[in-house]
Structure 1
Amino acid sequence: MIRAKLKLAARKKLKGSWVWGLQIILINILSAFVILSLSTIAFLIFGIFCFAFCTTPLSSNNIFNDISIVLYYISISNGRIITAIFAQTFLLTGLVAATYDLINGKKTNNAWGAAFSQFKNNRSGYFITTWFLFTVRCILWSLLLFIPGLIKGLAYSQALYIMQDAVDDKTPMTANEAIALSRKVMDGHKWELLGLMLSFFGWLVLSIITYGIGFFWTLPYMFTTMAEYHKYVMADYNKQHQTGLTNAQVHTTASFSVK
């Protein structure tokens, strides 16, 4: 069964690196806390600044006054939370990059360097644009309904890995090209990936009931498995389509044979 093979391959790659993975998660949590704290202070100052210009009630035919009041309430309510969520999702791209480096034999041993692997080898600009475009597209599709957003999220799921291969092989592509290739690669594989993700449900529940402690092991395991899945699905895509793409475009070496 493909799921069992992927998880076994991930565990083998993580052998001797579990503490390394734990440290990356801890650094992610600390970084998110710092960002949340700074954004809280920044939005509080911004809110006070906006409120300082509110001298008359809302809808007083003073558009500048009205905008100031709206910005004030946004800043003290949802602004810092939205900022923190976006920051956290981008921080997790470091775990994506670090675990993909791990399975490719390019592990960054320093935990701080690994936690911010999205900035390694001049990846930063490409990762930021790919992550941003991926996130915005998923949000827009989710505005329709949950299911379309989920389907598109699965379709775009390989874009960061594709970009990482391309940048590391010094043949970078645009974010749109990475997402377009991901859609082609995931054609016929979306529900397979969803099943793989759901197979971690028990681990996630266990992590929650242990007051989050389990996430220090579950997340590195899950992300390493997803990195192994990328190698598998790209190898399968190259085999099925005989694309002739270079290693910069398709990482063709899976950890086990593609049937």
Structure 2
Amino acid sequence: MHIPAFGVGTFRLQGQTVIDSVTNALDLGYRAVDTAQIYENEAEVGQAIAESGIPRSEIFITTKIWTDHYAKDKLIPSLRESLDKLRVDQVDLTLIHWPAPDCGVPLESYMATLAEAKALGLTKMIGVSNFNIDLTARAIEVVGKGQIATSQIELSPYLQNRRLTAYLAAQQIHTTSYMTLAYGKILQDPTIQQLAAKHDATPAQIALAWALQMGHSVIPSSTKRANLQSNLLATRLQLDAEDMTTIGHLERNGRLVNPEGLAPAWDE
């Protein structure tokens, strides 16, 4: 099993909007879809996948357990409910959405229950999201080295997370980048725009290609078919070493997602 390099995200998309987005993405060739319990769109994502006509075996589905369901008696039932909404017997990847140090459930408990969900066959792989180095190390102690398939983190040219990604690589944990376009801020960056002109590409393609060439997976979302198609072309774009160095200099610790009570103490 491996984590697909390119998928479609569904954060903030609901109702017919998310159905259309996932439908268009699958029609264009996407084969990985990322959702979460808190997005409240798993049923619509499941509908789009079911109606696509694409064999289940060809689509990689990721969902994330919300903090309200971390308790030992809630996590697995909540995942079963997610499977029902998604119209599948098993998802490919299930993540702990946030470490949530104030949620009242110890990390050791919810990671052990997540591993149990995998043992029950509810998910092929497990992982974490928004964990720092210390919490990732604790998670590894619970489930064992090699059991955490990916860590999904906010990562963009403005927030490159070098310490964390280096640690993840050393632990053989794949990095999945979300917010790779920094809520669209990257699209207005003069340096990114210059590189886009150089490669006859869009700024979004430049940022996504950068993350891909760093070895990360990306899960950009869009409500527009044209943008979904354009983003996918980033997989064909090759940045040279000078381009990668130039983007490396854009680091500014530009974190955009930092919810109180859910986020850890971030690695600097």
TM-score surpassing 0.5? no
Q: Which structure has greater strand proportion?
A: 2
Larger-Rg structure: 1
TM-score, length basis structure 1: 0.23
Q: Which structure has greater helix proportion?
A: 1
TM-score, length basis structure 2: 0.22
